[in-house]
């Protein structure tokens, strides 16, 4: 019997972003700045970038038109987030740009220095604004009192770290852990946060990403379906989707990542058990 089954009917309670991260609430009647314009700009760029990747042979240099589009979208994001952008604007901009940069790095044999440097500068600026917006509510690590594993029972079938890819056969970083799961088993939020991404992420298949604070995020991949939408606010244990085998996967399981400032860290060092740094915590 899987312990998470009882969570299947858990509803997602929507709360203001400020209630989760402790940022000062917006004044009554204040209209969020740039939300729709920024979302539309990011959606257009992501669709264009995905098309350029599909038209380019793996390992080839990044096409010049895509490099030019990168520089334009970075300027646009800087402009649209420079004013009183909402917290969700900043979370969304960082996540979508970071995901696109990772996809380009995996697809192309060369990413122009101007693109890589410009993207890192913009990502650092957005992160700084997030930190300023949510000062005093930072999670330095996934506190075992407020975080949990996304499926129960917890069985790690492939740990975090360098490994030979089971399908492609090359040596690469496994940026998360693979957790044993059955098809359509409920997957729950590891901790409280904001749904920053819901959709298809190439080899990760159907994926959900939660932003827990300006530094800490979690990713849930190969899902069979979604229970949340971008912008939803979730609490620990809320169902966000169901386990599956979408994307590049050898079988049904959950690929689970913990990221700090965009860099993957070992979930077993962050969460209580099964053998991680928190295993002995009361």
Residue 6 resides in a domain: no
Name the residue among 188, 209, 226, 241 with its Cα closest to residue 3. 188
Instruction: Give the mean pLDDT of 140-166.
Output: 77
Assigned domain for 11 exists: no
Q: Are residues 187 and 209 in the same domain?
A: yes
Q: What are phi and psi of 119, to 5 degrees?
A: -65, -45
Q: What is the pLDDT of residue 171?
A: 67
Q: Provide the domain count of the chain.
A: 2
Determine the average pLDDT of the residues in 133-144. 54
Asked whether the predicted pLDDT for residue 118 surpasses 60, the reply is yes
Tell me if 208 sits within 8 A of 195, measured CB to CB.
yes
Angle between helices 35-54 and 64-82 (to 10 degrees): 170
Task: Name the residue with tokens 């971008």.
Answer: 230
> For residue 221, what are the β-bridge partners?
255
Range of the structural domain that residue 36 is part of: 17-133
pLDDT tens column, 19-78: 444 433 444 443 444 468 888 888 899 889 989 998 999 889 999 999 999 999 999 998
What's 205's domain CATH number? Answer: 2.70.70.10
| Residue 222: strand, helix, or coil | strand
Q: β-strand 186-188 against 206-211: which pairing, if any?
A: unpaired
For residues 74 and 92, what is the distance between their CA atoms, to the nearest angstrom?
Answer: 14
CA–CA distance, 121 with 181 (Å, rounded to integer): 39
Give the separation between CA 268 and CA 54, rounded to whole angstroms: 35
Q: For residue 115, what is the enclosing H or E element?
A: helix 113-133
Same domain flag for 175 and 104 = no
Domain assignment present for residue 10? The answer is no
CA–CA separation, 85 vs 81, rounded Å?
A: 5
Same domain? For 188 and 92 the reply is no
Asked if 162 and 213 sit in the same domain, the reply is yes
Least confident of 88-102, 140-154, 188-202, 268-282: 268-282
Q: Give the tens place of pLDDT for each residue, 76-112.
A: 998 888 866 787 788 788 888 888 887 888 788 888 8
| The pLDDT of residue 197 | 79
Residue 190 CB: number of other CB atoms within 10 A?
A: 26
Q: Tell me, yes or no, whether 195 and 263 share the same domain.
A: yes
Asked whether residue 3 is assigned to any structural domain, the reply reads: no
């Amino acid at each position: 019997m899987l312990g998470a089954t009882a969570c299947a009917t858990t509803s997602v309670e929507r709360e203001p972003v400020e209630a989760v991260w402790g940022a000062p609430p917006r004044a009554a009647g204040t209209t969020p700045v740039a939300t729709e314009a920024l979302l539309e700009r990011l959606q257009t760029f992501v669709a264009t970038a995905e098309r350029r990747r599909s038209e380019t042979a793996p390992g080839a240099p990044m096409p010049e038109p895509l490099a030019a589009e990168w520089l334009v979208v970075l300027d646009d994001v800087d402009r649209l987030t420079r004013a009183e952008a909402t917290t969700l604007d900043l979370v969304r901009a960082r996540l979508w740009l970071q995901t696109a940069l990772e996809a380009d790095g995996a697809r192309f044999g060369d990413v122009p220095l101007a693109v890589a440097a410009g993207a890192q500068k913009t990502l650092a600026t957005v992160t700084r604004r997030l930190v300023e917006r949510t000062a005093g509510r930072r999670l330095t690590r996934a506190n075992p009192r407020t975080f949990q594993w996304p499926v129960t029972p917890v069985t790690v079938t492939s740990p975090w770290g360098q490994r030979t890819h089971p399908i492609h056969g090359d040596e690469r970083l496994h940026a998360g852990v693979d957790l044993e799961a059955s098809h359509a088993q409920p997957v729950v939020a590891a901790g409280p946060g904001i749904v920053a991404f819901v959709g298809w992420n190439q080899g990760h298949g159907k994926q959900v990403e939660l932003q827990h604070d300006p530094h800490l995020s979690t990713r849930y991949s190969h899902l069979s379906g979604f229970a949340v939408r971008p912008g939803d606010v979730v609490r620990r244990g809320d169902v966000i989707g169901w386990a599956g085998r979408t994307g590049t996967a050898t079988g049904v399981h959950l690929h689970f990542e913990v990221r700090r400032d965009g860099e993957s860290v070992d979930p077993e060092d962050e969460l209580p058990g099964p053998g991680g740094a928190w295993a002995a915590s009361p």
